[in-house]
Structure 1
């Protein structure tokens, strides 16, 4: 394992494994079996959520903050937190992990897109994989071989990597028997300072979707759940969608707590923001 002289730089692995409900294989070896099992459990246990930017609260990416928010406070987070936590966990186990920056092209209406999404390259004896536990509504629940043209079968559907004309990787997901673009990236390794800038921008910019909209998502055993403002959508693995419109602050609070297992009690100002969301979307 990789150890740091400063324990504040370490993720509490015992708390992490308990949080995600991981029960094996043990011991934690830096191999594909462990990588796939951790990704599967993590993605279902720690929801994608943007409550901090929505409430004007800071997003902190240091290990101590990740331990506190995602492990001890029964909260989730978005890509910089999720993949930041997962990167540190994997490195402590002994994996080689690099971070890249991706342009999200899912439903994009313009080619002028900043790199705003953190993704990981994980190397182990079995190969090199794209790993991402922070993409919300279409998060991959299994490693994807970092090889163009490969179709990866994950527990939540098929993904494929293609190469663009300008030499970038493009990730697609299969929905409704057709392929949909998610994001594209190159192999330029990003440093913590790079992510600090990206994170600050998307969590504070007045026009950021994370500042203006409630977005919560997680995969479940039989599909995916997404809360977009006051619309709770359930997408089953066979492609059927059902959407429920939440018409009150208490309904949304209940879904956050009961469905996504988020502890919302300490969040001051939440009711005012949820009431605005209900009013704007009714």
Structure 2
């Protein structure tokens, strides 16, 4: 389906400008793929509002203001909520799911604390996700079992499990490990409110402990862990820790496009 761009809401056009998308407006897989790739290269994953005790809102107008107007980022409940809204505005059929996040989890099985999207394009179903702070698919994953999806130097595969439903695994050093799992139970926007509140406020939530930020770049990816900035390129990793608040703010602007005062 081709969408007349003149019929799009100003907020949609502003969102497309925010992520640097200027291609066709239709519901093809090619467009879906480009939208997701644009998003993960322009909108950072970050938890600064949580650290600064600024209550999060998952309402679309508030997300548009934060992510599009103020050019901030967010975490999965913000990023995938707004990306899902964009896709629906462009004519895609989108279903929201909860996922259990397995990577780095020591108390397994993990709780459901991750928001993901199932998107229909050209009659096929795809897993889409722009809300992971670590390495994750940069392109949609076709929802078929046991098919390896090579994405540059990364590889992913969906499997089925009797207890946990779909499991997305990642290949690291020749070994497969679970990234996250989900069942096909559609969720409403309000269904994510309680879990997001837990992530913002629970004493054992990872989101309230240290700064986290990540964004893909043309050369690799940039991340923050606590106070340390890490710049990943093909040549290796450059790590540094800003010495002052001003240096920290400048590093945020340079490597993530974040003005923390916005």
TM-score by length of 2: 0.90
Q: Deviations over 1:1-51 (max 9, x none)?
A: 9xxxxxxxx781110111011121x2x111101100100001111100011
Contact 2:164 2:182 in 1 (8 A): no
Match of 1:263 in 2: 259
Structure 2 unpaired stretches of 5+ = 2-8
Contact 1:172 1:181 in 2 (8 A): yes
1:250 aligns with 2:246: yes
1:232 aligns with 2:229: yes
With over 3 angstroms needed to count, the CA separation of the structure-2 counterparts of 1:57 and 1:77, relative to structure 1, is same
Count matched residues: 255
**Runs of 4+, deviation exceeding 6 Å:** none
Match of 1:280 in 2: none
**CA-CA distance at 1:255 after TM superposition:** 1.8
Contact 1:140 1:156 in 2 (8 A): no
**CA-CA distance at 1:249 after TM superposition:** 3.0
1:123 aligns with 2:120: yes
Contact 2:51 2:209 in 1 (8 A): yes
Q: Secondary structure at the match of 1:82?
A: helix
With over 3 angstroms needed to count, the CA separation of the structure-2 counterparts of 1:235 and 1:165, relative to structure 1, is farther
With over 3 angstroms needed to count, the CA separation of the structure-2 counterparts of 1:93 and 1:224, relative to structure 1, is same
24, 30, 44: which is aligned to 2:27? Answer: 30
188, 191, 196: which is aligned to 1:194? Answer: 191
TM-score by length of 1: 0.84
With over 3 angstroms needed to count, the CA separation of the structure-2 counterparts of 1:167 and 1:184, relative to structure 1, is closer
With over 3 angstroms needed to count, the CA separation of the structure-2 counterparts of 1:163 and 1:61, relative to structure 1, is same
**CA-CA distance at 1:246 after TM superposition:** 3.7
90, 93, 101: which is aligned to 1:93? Answer: 90
**CA-CA distance at 1:217 after TM superposition:** 0.2
1:69 aligns with 2:66: yes
**CA-CA distance at 1:221 after TM superposition:** 1.3
Q: Secondary structure at the match of 2:134?
A: helix
189, 210, 215: which is aligned to 2:212? Answer: 215
Match of 2:13 in 1: 14
Q: Secondary structure at the match of 1:57?
A: coil
Match of 1:78 in 2: 75
Contact 1:11 1:85 in 2 (8 A): no
Distance 1:34 1:227 in 2: 30
With over 3 angstroms needed to count, the CA separation of the structure-2 counterparts of 1:206 and 1:221, relative to structure 1, is same
Q: Deviations over 1:202-226 (max 9, x none)?
A: 1122221111210000111121211
Distance 1:169 1:220 in 2: 29
Q: Deviations over 1:95-122 (max 9, x none)?
A: 1100111111111111142100000000
**CA-CA distance at 1:53 after TM superposition:** 0.7
RMSD: 2.0
